[in-house]
Structure 1
């Protein structure tokens, strides 16, 4: 299983750290929770997970931030964090109800966001979405291309349509996004693009042939595109998260119909067994915090990079 909130700072505080602060809080139902899923007994002992605190900085004040796949998971968390740092966020996704919910959350917190329904598999949708965000907010500055899906099965069990859906969303969808974002960034005189790949681009496992092929292909896409536009002041990088506690991972695990408390037990147990070292999945908020920092002006020398954020999983355990 591999993937893919902040508030405003106290107005009276004059100086703020440019980094988010990670603190620890207890997660779960307290003590030891036992559940039975498919005949398998699971237990959780209140493992810690980070809570993202607002940094107080406004690194994206006056900037337009475009996000694909912004209605759930890492994309949703990133939309909220970009907005909390002053960004004007235009984001897309296929599920309109979720999109409106995220838009309302951001605006209720004092941020600026616009949801536009779009499917990254459709060139017409991508063109319309990118152009509408640029028109609404007066150009583009930062693009976080995050939309992605997975299906897990042995290679010979994929239909051609299923293969095309996974590769079309994860790889072709990113090509289309870049295809229509780049002209706006050229007009702006530069900008930043961050593309969500996956640690599966480095080390994968059985049942992930379509997903791993697409995510590894994204690394090549990013490197070549970065070379195309480095002289134009456009930085393009790849983010390679490890297993992240998101709807995508929960769906891949077949756990969407289970109670949240049972899923958290499953996720905690899986992390302890499959992520050497840290022994847990990432949270969407902490991956988003890393993405926001990578997209900020803090690293002007970084382009064509593969930034692995997987708790040491690929280094320690493959």
Structure 2
């Protein structure tokens, strides 16, 4: 007998934070503010790195790539969440849901790999200082920067494609503020054994492997730094890693709580909100306030802009 696709669902309903109706206006203002801060902050860091010659180093090159990724990553979920909160527009078409889930998974996994690449750069700078400049030349940096995107957009599609090829015959309510592939698989009428297995493999490959690699690199970095006799050199070495370490801990910590722990909870949506919006909004401040070079470059560019403005008037 010929297989027949029994999918009858043409759209999904994103419940979002409908269980907190009294906080809807507050959450809309908070999400909108965080989204604007994220966009302005990351755009500022990107332009600063591109225009200020003192920041034309491999570390800041990868940070500029990271800011672009953050803007794309946040823009996958934030606009729809704002529409749900202010307009009660909580429906999303089947194929729009697929695109959102696919983009979210690809960009999220790309960010995991990029964070591990950034610590690899710090590992070379601290553990191989004499060879660092020769290894991390401009051409090699560009090649490395493509690698996380290739890995993210190669691994992530499998769970999304498998999930959306399933049959959906109802119900169609997703207890989330975006199309989360794990919750979508629970709504499918057909067997999801292979889909859940592919999701587990993707989570381990794109979350746990980068996480373990980051831990491994930092163990070697700390071991090398502790052997440095000069207190000033030791402090400088630690300071170059502190921003990345904070960002990585925040992102992987919240991600592991949602996608790696065995049981789900009602707090998963808030953890997801943390790594999809809150953390990307505060990342530019982490890189700015904990980095003397960025602060000096920001002051320099600000003075130049003020001087040009005064001269034009």
TM-score (ref. length: structure 2): 0.30
Larger relative contact order (C-alpha < 8 A, sep ≥ 6)? 2
Q: Which protein shows a greater Rg? A: 2
**Which structure has more helix as a fraction of its residues?**
2
**Which structure has more strand as a fraction of its residues?**
1
TM-score (ref. length: structure 1): 0.30
